[in-house]
Structure formats: C-alpha cells, structure tokens
Structure 1
C-alpha cells in the first residue's frame, strides 16, 4: 500500500493550518480536470473510487511518453485534486490549506496529500487509487 501521506493526528484546534476559502481551489482544479479529460481524452471521471484506477493509468502513460514535468504540472495537480475529492466524498473528509499546500483531513484527524501523490505517480512511485483506499480504510480504524 502507498505510504506517502502525512499521517499526523491532530488534537483540538488546528495549529498546522486553517480552512480558508483557498481550500475551494482544489475543488475547482478537480472539476477542471474532469471536464478536460471528458473533452480531450474521452475519459469519463465520476468521482468514484474505481475511477482512480483509470487516473493512475493515465498518469503512468503520460510519464512513459517522456513528457517533461513542467508541461504536465497543472494536470497532475488536477488529478491529485480529483483524487482528493473522491476521498472527501467517500470519507467525509475536508480540504485544508497548510503552508500553501492543499491537504485532505479525514474525520480521524489524519492528513493526506493527494496532489503530491499524483506527482509521485508521475515519477512511477505512487498510486492515487491506493491512497484513496488507505484513507477510506482509516475511516473506521479510529485515531
């Protein structure tokens, strides 16, 4: 299983960040990538966990083509935000912004970084599907 996550358990107030309006950005990035994939790649994304398998495969294909990271940075951010939205919808998590980074905070207090996981997937070292699986598994495990 993918272990690339920030598995900090927080207590009380959130000294590591707040949930400002900036947390709405990843929701917009996710919607943008859903639209772009539907129109450009004919890839239908429905915010369901099984769709993350297709996203992982798409990112891997982009990486195999030798596309420079700088050329796909925005798309990777969108794919990560999409995976984050899948986690939000599946677990009741929320987007949080900490140090300029957009993270997911699951109800058990753990932080997950799906945007960084998308970058890791591009490098051949991550999986958005497994990240979602891990985050959903933690839901019932308690802190």
Structure 2
C-alpha cells in the first residue's frame, strides 16, 4: 500500500496495464498505438491535448498513468528494458512505484516522464526521451507476448 492507502501498482502488472489501455484506445482506430518509437509522438500529442483541454493533474492522473505504462512498455519492447518495482529510495526520487531497468542496469521513470510532459509541455518530449535514453539495447527487442 502507498502512503495514501491506495494499492501501489506492481511491475508484473504493467504489461497488462499497457495492453488493456492500448486495446481500449485502438478500438475502431481511435488512437493507433503500436508500441513503436514513432507512436511516442502520438503520446506527446495526447498529453498536450489533456493540458490544452484544461484537465488538472488529479483529473488527468489515471490517463497519465496509463500513458506512462504504454511508454514503459515501448521501452520494454524496443529498448530491452524490464519493469521493476522501485525500492523506497527510488520511489521517493521518482514519485512512482514502478520503473524500468535498462540493459545497462540504469533505472528510468516512464510514468514520471509522462507527468513531466503534462506539467512542462514540449520540452519533455517522450519520443526524444526514448531517442536520448542511455542504456538502450543495440538492437530492437522483439515483442514478447
């Protein structure tokens, strides 16, 4: 449980979280998320739309979490990352319960990066985050079902 009494998401749930979100938003081709690096531009646009629409952070939090799960899953599928439960120190630093560990051992915070995009705007591009990310695997990792 988190400090607020709510159950914290666990690393083993994140792939399912992302897949459920993708299934809902791609129904009828409303939002074509395909786990590609280029799809992160679309995530940037969706987050920007939430900002422009006047959503507050608390109101947008569930959608931001789901988008963060998607971004993390792109890192898993394309950069060789794995979902990890963050330790107490990492949770304090990142403000999130889960993150991804890259092949070189570095831990990154895709959930927080989506929140940063929401709060700071274009300077926090998720696609640029991926492209400049340290520790990516040299080759694209094949999707694991």
Smaller-chain TM-score range? 0.7 to 0.9
CA distance in 2, matches of 1:122, 1:41: 24
CA distance in 2, matches of 1:22, 1:79: 16
What are the equivalent positions in structure 2 for 1:17-56 lying under 5 Å apart? 22-39=10-27, 42-56=30-44
- Is there any run of 5+ residues in structure 2 with no aligned partner, and where? 1-8, 92-96, 139-145
* Pairwise CA distance, 1:35: 2.0
* Pairwise CA distance, 1:127: 2.0
CA contact (8 A) 2:35 2:70 kept: yes
Aligned to 1:64: 52
Change (3 A) 1:103 1:112: same
Aligned to 1:113: 109
Larger CA deviation: 114-123 vs 29-38: 29-38
Among residues 132, 137, 145, which one is paired with 1:134 in the alignment? Answer: 132
How large is the RMSD of aligned CA atoms in angstroms? 2.2
The size of the alignment, in residue pairs, is 120
Paired residue secondary structure (1:135): coil
Q: Which has the higher contact order (CA 8 A, sep 6+)?
A: 1
CA distance in 1, matches of 2:133, 2:117: 17
CA distance in 1, matches of 2:134, 2:39: 15
Stretches of 4+ aligned residues off by more than 6 angstroms = none
- Is there any run of 5+ residues in structure 1 with no aligned partner, and where? 1-20
* Pairwise CA distance, 1:34: 0.9
CA contact (8 A) 2:81 2:102 kept: yes
* Pairwise CA distance, 1:28: 1.9
Paired residue secondary structure (2:84): strand
CA distance in 2, matches of 1:65, 1:129: 22
